[in-house]
Chain A
Amino acid sequence: MKHPRSRLDEVIHSPVRFSVVAALAGADQAEFRFVRDAVEVSDSQLSKQVSVLEKAGYVKVGKFAVGRRTRTSLSLTPEGRAAFDAHVRALREIAEGSGAPDQG
């Protein structure tokens, strides 16, 4: 039996990216600044991580106008949601101690 560690998603394994995806899993869509505050990172850190997630096809970035201002919205793609669910399942299995013994 393969250790669940082998099923962890490389893209969302990074702590900040995992938090960003977890934040977006709780909504259909969230504004950039709301996610930034929820995850407690800077604008630039979030931008960088969102670019990686967008490139992987996990996050969709949109723009919308509120009055004269343009705001950025973030949402998970179906692939992103599936990857998050699979990653969480693998983490749960690791946390419960299932799978083959950890080799490192």
Chain B
Amino acid sequence: MREDEARDALERAGSVENRVRRGGRWLAGYCALYGTGSIAVVLAVGLAPHGPLRTGVFAVFMVMVVVLVVWAATRPVKPRGFAWLHTGMIAGWAVLYTVALNVGLRAFPGDPAWWVPMAVATAVPPWVLAAYMLRTSGGRA
């Protein structure tokens, strides 16, 4: 094999690999939506009075999660490290969500100074993963 043939082979392989990497970008959208939904649900639980608004936001969030899970399962490409990345994101989110609700409902009911930053904090793990996916799924140059 000559040098130019090796370079051509590497170029072709890089191009195909990048195309498939880009196929994994859906995870960024998934995480961005998940984080946004999490903010809405934490704010609704913490700040909205008991009643239809809180129930409605929670129901919409649950439906959104189910739709996202089904949608994710049907994507044609699972990005590199998908299982670890997704599990890590969900674990980080679950810890922050649990702290936000358990502490907030006992110690800071209806206090925006707790609920607003904690709502945003629950979105950090999914948004960090979204940013990571956007940065890495462009593929190797």
**Residues of A contacting B81 with CB < 8 Å?**
28
**Chain B CB within 8 A of A52 CB:** no
- B80 CB contact (under 8 Å) in A22, A28, A102: A28
Q: Chain B contact residues: over half helix, strand or loop, or mixed?
A: helix
- Residue ID in chain B nearest A29 by CB atoms: B78
- A31's nearest neighbour on chain B, judged by CB, is B76
Query: Chain A residue with minimal CB distance to B17?
Result: A26
Shortest C-beta distance, B136 to chain A (Å), equals: 10
Given known contacts A30-B20, A66-B74, is B6 in contact with A94 (CB within 8 Å)?
Answer: yes
B1:A27 contact, CB within 8 angstroms: no
Give the A interface residue count (CB, 8 A).
29
Task: With A5-B1, A28-B83 as known contacts, state yes or no: A38 contacts B20, CB within 8 Å.
Answer: yes
- Which residue in chain A gives the minimum CB-CB distance to B139? A26
Looking at the complex, which one of A15, A28, A38, A66 makes contact with B9 (CB distance below 8 Å)? A15
Taking CB atoms and an 8 Å cut-off, the chain A residues in 8-60 that contact chain B are 8, 15, 18-19, 22-31, 33-35, 38-39
Q: Do A22 and B17 touch across chains, with their CB atoms under 8 A apart?
A: yes
| A95 proximity list for chain B (CB < 8 A) | 3, 6-7, 10
Residues of B within 8 Å of A, CB-based: how many? 29
B24 close to chain A: CB less than 8 A: yes
Q: Which chain A residues lie closer than 8 Å to B83 at the CB level?
A: 28
Query: B132 at the A/B interface (Cβ < 8 Å)?
Result: no
- Cross-chain contact of A26 among B1, B10, B20 (Cβ < 8 A): B20
B106 at the interface (CB under 8 A from A): no
Indicate with 1 or 0, residue by residue over B1-28, a CB within 8 angstroms of chain A CB atoms.
Answer: 1110011011011101111110110000
Of chain A, the residue at the smallest CB distance from B7 is A95
Contacts of A62-76 to chain B: CB distance below 8 A: 66
Q: A88: which B residues are within 8 A, CB to CB?
A: 10, 13
Point out residues on A near B: beta carbons under 8 Å. Answer: 5, 8, 15, 18-19, 22-31, 33-35, 38-39, 66, 88, 91-92, 94-97, 102
Other than the given A26-B19, A28-B78, A34-B23, 20 more pairs (CB < 8 A) read A15-B9, A15-B12, A22-B16, A23-B20, A26-B17, A26-B18, A26-B20, A26-B139, A27-B20, A27-B21, A27-B77, A29-B78, A29-B82, A31-B76, A35-B20, A38-B23, A91-B9, A94-B2, A97-B3, A102-B2
